[in-house]
Amino acid sequence: MSKVMEGLKYTHSHEWVKVENDIALIGITDYAQDSLGDVVYVDAGEVGMIVEKDEMFGSIESVKAASDLFSPVSGEIIEINQEVIDNPELINEDCYANWIIKVRMSNQEELNELMDASEYQEHLE
Amino acid sequence: MDSRLIFEKSHKGRFAYSLPKQDNYLEIPTKFKRTSSLNMPEVSELDVVRHYTNLSRKNYGVDQGFYPLGSCTMKYNPKINDFVASNPSFTNLHPLQPAESMQGALEVYYKTAKYLAEITGMDEVTLNPYAGAHGELVGLMIMKEYHYRRGDYKRTKVIIPDSAHGTNPASVNVAGMEVLEVASNPDGTVNIEDLKAVLSDEVAGIMLTNPNTLGIFEKDILAIKELARQYGALLYYDGANLNALLGITRPGDMGFDIVHLNLHKTFSTPHGGGGPGSGPVGVKKELAELLPNPRVVYEDGKYQIKYLPTAIGQISNFFGNFLVVLRAYTYILTLGKENLKYVGKLAVLNANYIKESLKDYYQVAVPGLCKHEVVFSGLKSKAVSTLDVAKRLLDYGYHPPTIYFPLIVHEALMVEPPETESKEILDGFIETMKTIAKEAIENPELLKTAPHNTVVRRLDEATAARKPILKYQDIINN
């Protein structure tokens, strides 16, 4: 049973978003980290990169597979969690505490298109 | 068994071979002489022989036992292939010698290309690419150039289903084009509605594997061909799974414009260990002028080497891995037309025999008949993971099947039993797989800690990938 956190927004491709004013913290869900298995590599673009909603901003690699990371919102990457890049196992240890990128959103209305916790829970089932 | 590296067996002052000191050698100028020590292990000839002989015994290959690695067609490589390829008349050739002096080798190249064209239903074939992914790149370069020469510069996208081999999107990127991924149906086949949604006049081509990576035949292939034509896109065939179709149907007849093959899969040349492989590319006649140089043609009663200005260029030093081509040529002639047609049928029969025999123990991913390989979605009991099953198979002396691919199947376990395996071999494997399924319920810990009988126990793959130790120096430094 995968853990879903209340208060976050979710994508169909299993990313989560935590909103702090106009900043979005983005990570991957428990379902995603569990399906991937031991994460060994995270690539998350560069600070200053402009990301579009639903477009790829990086990739994540486990012993099983490599997957693309899709941005749930449009905006500019203002910070990358270097700790996660250096220690990808943090994603397995606590995927909700360890965000991957921070994005300054250019269109907050896009958040309405994302799922809330109960909708995501339903999506998983 | 002694598992030390050869560096760890080094003993100061020990050596294998020495040459007598001679005075009349030309002195090497000092500036070219090495000043630092070579840092080679100091070992005797016997140390070296034992070290590498023992290493080779830890290896596992088709000559030792069943190798059901899905999507890899690990069929037996007949020894006659090697016998022919080790003939000094071939091995002592130099690619730059005059064509008149190597007519036999050029004939082999020319005829192999002809046979492969006939087998795949294509018009012309190049044997120059060194391996499958290289063939993919060449095929995509031809696709790109085809549109480019027609002034159709906007076609930069290639459609690939999410069930595809990872090399497909990788090759598209290397070729400088963009991947458009389409979701597939639960059986891995192309979802026609999704395909229509992404098709446009910016699509250069559609890349498909048929049968797909779930071992299922793409039954809508003719409809896909029509759609591709309608939108001006080319159809690309990834030959990874050609073994299923050998002698039954041909990619050319399904409407594919470009095909790449893997001689190291379908045509019984050695596979694995880093090659050498061979990845011929076949095309329909509209694309033939684009095939890479050099080419071998038969004109004026002799075989000649040609460089055409219309080619996409040269993608290999000379004629690819010629001795691999020679092995495939031998294979084709050994089987002949009348026997090649049984290859596909027997491979499909073997896969379905395994599927039916194991379906009560392992979850079949797609119900119904499969082609040359069968994909399971882990154990029915779910007692342990697919990884645990694969590790336990090592204890029983088998090379494990492909696991966790295709990505769209949960806990995927993909078994490909080539036509060269007998019923007794398959029965032995089936019994072992059943035993493992029972062990998983009765003693899951046994599987979770497997393998137990191998030189090394279960490796920590995650740490190995996160903190790789890539050279001996790193071991000393740690």
Identify the pLDDT of residue B434. 98
Mutate to test the interface with B, among A1, A63, A90 (most CBs of B within 10 A): A63
From the list B72, B179, B132, B182, the residue with the least C-alpha distance to B408 is B182
B5 reaches A (C-beta below 8 A)? no
Residue indicated by tokens 């336990």: B392
Give the CATH number of the domain where residue B362 resides.
3.90.1150.10
Any domain includes B68:
no
Identify the pLDDT of residue B319. 95
CA B425 – CA B439 distance, rounded (Å) = 21
- Crossing angle, helix B423-442 and helix B386-395, to 10 degrees? 120
Q: B398 and B436, same structural domain? A: yes
| Nearest beta carbon to residue A40 from set B166, B404, B465 | B465
Any domain includes B109:
yes
pLDDT tens for chain B, residues 1 to 478: 678 889 899 999 998 888 887 777 788 898 998 988 888 899 999 999 999 999 988 889 999 999 999 999 999 999 999 999 999 999 999 999 999 999 999 999 999 999 999 999 999 999 999 999 999 999 999 999 999 999 999 999 999 998 899 899 999 999 999 999 998 998 889 999 999 999 999 999 999 999 999 999 999 999 999 999 999 999 999 999 999 999 899 999 999 999 999 999 999 999 977 679 999 999 999 999 999 999 999 999 999 999 999 999 999 999 999 999 999 999 999 999 999 999 999 999 999 999 999 999 999 999 999 999 999 999 999 999 999 999 999 999 999 999 999 988 999 999 999 999 999 999 999 999 999 999 999 999 999 999 999 988 999 888 888 888 888 777 777 6
Q: B414 and B309, same structural domain? A: no
User: Do the bridges between strand A15-20 and strand A9-10 make them parallel or antiparallel, or are there none, so unpaired?
Assistant: antiparallel
Q: What is the mean pLDDT of residues A20-29?
A: 96
What element of type H or E holds B392? helix B386-395
**Residue B233 per-residue DSSP state:** -
Residues of B in contact with A89 (CB under 8 A): 462, 466
Give the CATH number of the domain where residue B174 resides.
3.40.640.10
Contact at CB, A63 and B407, closer than 8 angstroms: no
Q: B200 and B92, same structural domain? A: yes
Residues of A in contact with B465 (CB under 8 A): 38, 40-41, 61, 63
* Domain span at B33: 6-58
Q: B408 and B274, same structural domain? A: no
Note whether B123 and B132 are within 8 A (CB). Answer: no
| Nearest beta carbon to residue B466 from set A65, A66, A89 | A89
B213 Cα to chain A: minimum distance (Å): 15
From the list B237, B189, B243, the residue with the least C-alpha distance to B365 is B189
Count of residues in chain B: 478
Any domain includes B70:
no
A16-108 CATH: 2.40.50.100
Q: B247 and B197, same structural domain? A: yes
Looking at the structure of chain B, the number of domains it has is 3
CA B451 – CA B69 distance, rounded (Å) = 18
Q: B244 and B175, same structural domain? A: yes
Identify the pLDDT of residue B311. 98
Note whether A94 and A29 are within 8 A (CB). Answer: no
Residues of A in contact with B466 (CB under 8 A): 40-41, 88-89
Identify the pLDDT of residue B141. 98
Note whether B136 and B156 are within 8 A (CB). Answer: no
Note whether A92 and A3 are within 8 A (CB). Answer: no
Identify the pLDDT of residue B472. 79
Cβ of B87: how many Cβ atoms within 10 Å?
12
CA B236 – CA B209 distance, rounded (Å) = 8
Q: B87 and B169, same structural domain? A: yes
B461 reaches A (C-beta below 8 A)? yes
Q: B383 and B268, same structural domain? A: no
CB proximity list for B6: less than 8 A, separation 6 or greater: B41, B43, B47, B48, B51
Residues of B in contact with A38 (CB under 8 A): 461-462, 465
Put residue B336 in one of left, alpha, beta given phi > 0 → left and psi -120 to 50 → alpha.
Answer: left
Termini Cα distance of chain B: 24
Q: What ranges do the domains of chain A cover?
A: 16-108
Q: What value does the mean pLDDT of chain A take?
A: 94
Q: B304 and B349, same structural domain? A: no
From the list B336, B335, B329, the residue with the least C-alpha distance to B104 is B329
Count of residues in chain A: 125
Contact at CB, B462 and A66, closer than 8 angstroms: no
Q: What is the band of A38 on the pLDDT scale with cuts at 50, 70, 90?
A: very high
Q: Which two tokens stand for residue B76?
A: 């037996």
Note whether B216 and B237 are within 8 A (CB). Answer: no
Note whether A109 and A77 are within 8 A (CB). Answer: no
Q: What are phi and psi of B306, to 5 degrees?
A: -125, 145
Q: What is the mean pLDDT of residues A37-55?
A: 94
Termini Cα distance of chain A: 10
Contact at CB, A40 and B462, closer than 8 angstroms: yes
Q: B388 and B348, same structural domain? A: yes
Residues of B in contact with A63 (CB under 8 A): 461-462, 465
Q: What is the band of A62 on the pLDDT scale with cuts at 50, 70, 90?
A: very high
Q: B173 and B226, same structural domain? A: yes
Identify the pLDDT of residue A100. 97
Identify the pLDDT of residue B126. 98
pTM, full prediction: 0.89
Q: B254 and B360, same structural domain? A: no
B393 CB burial (10 A radius; 0-12, 13-18, 19+):
buried
Note whether A69 and A36 are within 8 A (CB). Answer: no
Any domain includes B64:
no
